[in-house]
Amino acid sequence: MLKLLRTPAQNFADLEGYPFEPHYQNVGDGEGGEIRIHYVDEGQGELILCLHGQPTWSYLYRKLIPIFVAAGYRVIAPDLVGFGKSDKPAQRQDHTYAKHIGWMQQFLSSLQLEDITLVCQDWGGLIGLRLVAENPALFKRVVTANTGLPDASGIAPEMAAKMHNLYDSIALLPVAGVSEKLLANEAGAGFMYWVKLCSEATELTVSELIGMEALGGELSPEQKKAYDAPFPSEDYQQSVRAFPSLVPIYPDSAEAQQNQLAWKLLAQFEKPWLTAFSDSDPVTAGAETRFQETVPGAAGIKHKTIKGAGHFLQETAAQELADLVIDFIRST
């Protein structure tokens, strides 16, 4: 069984704008034990599944959930394993891309979710779009917002060693320095600075990562409290540290070939697909084009670029994003 940690409930007391009743579902951990996944389940009607990324949790969707509910939808927003109120594997090596896909697959199956409109951002896409590719019958529509499905396609295998050497050569920078590198994307390696920061920094404050200039800007004290709540100590942060290293950006990355296969499956997905990316996200800029050009369901859809929103557009453009999703559902 995995060694699991569970953030004390009092850490989540009185969080501003997050009044939702907690729900929990146990799934197998793959080693004979169980992992408890927390999720928000609000409203009634057609289902919208909201998947967050790293290093956030379902709190990220707190502004959108009431809008969706008021419009007549049921919203389920889980915390990925290792985040929010969900259990947290304490060993970094226990966080793999494949395991996280498997845990969320069990979550969907356990709740018998179907006819899903998926709204995914950041790692919510890396995990959620694999679920779409492998279970297309469960999904009715997809909204991709500041996310992608990296697969290292087009990069020759012999480039792997050079890319690893490039990573090894870059400096470990503080948050402000990484923000500058992301904005400049210096030598195409901006994301590597993020990976190194999350993986190797002596200390991490999650709210500082979320609030960096390149990703959206300063958070309020209440927001900082909420984003730091799941992680009372370093032991609880192994998901935050591991996830960037799991992105398949190298030709020899684990899951690169599986993501390439997923793209072949998504190239057959004909149900409606909307891209709603912000205009000022240095992490995923341009990723919407591949969805628009590859997925048949994206053809004929009025895609949207949200102006003035950073990477975490649920914070800075919640109403606009929610309106786009609602209009997309009603029009398809």
Beta-carbon-side half-sphere exposure of residue 94 (alpha carbons within 13 Å): 22
Q: Which helix (H) or strand (E) holds 51?
A: strand 46-51
- 95 a catalytic residue: no
Catalytic residue among 79, 94, 122, 151: 122
- 122 a catalytic residue: yes
Kindly state the greatest CA–CA separation across the chain: 53
Residue 294: what are its φ and ψ, rounded to 5°?
-105, -40
| Residues recorded for the chain | 332
CA gap 54, 179 in Å, rounded: 16
- 311 a catalytic residue: yes
Catalytic residue among 79, 94, 151, 281: 281
Q: Spell out the alpha helix ranges (H) of the chain.
A: 64-70, 97-110, 123-134, 159-169, 175-184, 190-200, 206-210, 221-228, 238-246, 256-266, 287-294, 313-316, 318-331
Q: Which of 266, 265, 274 is nearest to 300 (CA)?
A: 274
CA-to-CA separations, 15 to 10, 43, 54, 273, in angstroms, rounded: 10, 20, 20, 33
Tokens representing 213? 């200039």
Q: How many CB atoms lie within 10 A of CB 319?
A: 10
Q: Please give the positions annotated as active site.
A: 122, 281, 311
